[in-house]
Amino acid sequence: MRGNPRKPPHSSPKLFKTVLLIIGRVFITRAVLVLEDGSVWEGKGFGAIAKVSGEVVFNTGMVGYPESITDPSYYGQILCQTYPLIGNYGVSSKGLESPKPMIKGYVVSEMCATPSHATSEKTLDQWLKENGIPGISGIDTRALTKRLRIKGVMLGILQTYEKKTDLDLLKEEAKNIPDPNERDLVSEVTTKEIKTYNKKGDKTIVLIDCGVKENIIRCLVKRNVKVVRVPADANFKKIMSFSPSGVLISNGPGDPKKSEKAIRVVKKLMDGEMPVFGICLGNQILSLAAGGDTYKLKFGHRSQNQPCIEEKTGRCYITSQNHGFAVAPESLSKEWKPWFTNANDRTNEGIMHRSKPWISVQFHPEASPGPVDTEFIFDVFLGVMK
């Protein structure tokens, strides 16, 4: 007697078709990264089918790729992850640093197409595709990183394609890529309207949004602060109309010297001895407003494991960082003193005025991703405001 053959598990036509589409996409889509020095990196494509250009930088973090991808400080950049496997826990809409990806392109060694995590809502491939961001995988990211460390960050073109592309033409194009740092990138990522958070907070802090990470706002709200988020070009009168107890200058992308309006406003705030706190780009803007200078680093600091030494105590903190420019502390007057110094390359990681309520750090005390060892810096600022 012959019975009906049992169907094997997971053999539905819909699932089978989905698997074929995923496999086909991973192996059909190709990608190439071409740097301005003529070097070519060919691999598998994922995310959107597109061609983009930007500054190619690397991040040495092991986790936190959704937060990094949505960090506005990466705006105008093609991001390379040095950790070999990216995408293994998928993407969640919670805890991101901005509503959408801010990078121009993504470079990984291996992209996980089948993530597994309780909070995962979609794959990295799906998320980048939905947002028009191309990615390349299957290349030697270690060799690429070593090249960027030796030669410094370079401009490059990342293209994903399904049929064919002209490598010789891309090499010529890569020689003439416009440097995004020549633009005022802050004006392209700042909020377009004034937003208020925790309206019943004890104190009011005006946040000058140069490309702020959402976790900075979360850290302030958690301390029962009313946060008024204003555009980077908000004038002095508008900022003071909120009767703030202090002003915070956020992180953001690009060359700090391009943020001329913010620099002028911060200078005026300091003339009135308003308590001011800068984070990352905010550290650089505060320094420029104080008459100091900034310069471009060879390949920047982008990771969650940067050691910073507090000058007064000698204590070392592990910090999260994302910047390509730094403050020249010797350019500041003797009224200012270094607060933190990078233990690896001795670059400045924060400044403090000797008598006025003005402080700033180059790293990210709000972390996200990374260690929360320095979140106490927010409490220091609240103390300065008193």
10 catalytic per annotation: no
Give the residue ranges of DSSP H helices in 100-166: 124-130, 141-151
- Residue ranges with strand state E in 48-162: 51-59, 77-81, 85-86, 105-107, 110-111, 134-137, 154-161
SS3 state of residue 197: strand
Dihedral (Cα; 321, 96, 288, 263), 10-degree rounding: 180
Task: Report the interhelical angle of 281-289 vs 260-271 (nearest 10°).
Answer: 60
User: Exposure pattern of 85-109 as b/e (b: 16+ CB <10 Å)?
Assistant: ebbbbbbeeeebbbeebbbbbbbbb
> Which residue out of 210, 280, 349, 353 is catalytically annotated?
280
Who contacts 90 (Cβ-Cβ below 8 Å, separation ≥6)?
115, 116, 117, 119, 120, 121, 122, 123, 124
Who contacts 144 (Cβ-Cβ below 8 Å, separation ≥6)?
33, 41, 56, 58, 80, 107
Which tokens go with 111?
Answer: 């992209």
Q: How many C-beta atoms surround the C-beta of residue 40 within 10 A?
A: 12
Dihedral (Cα; 276, 280, 283, 289), 10-degree rounding: -90
What is the set of active-site residues? 280, 364, 366
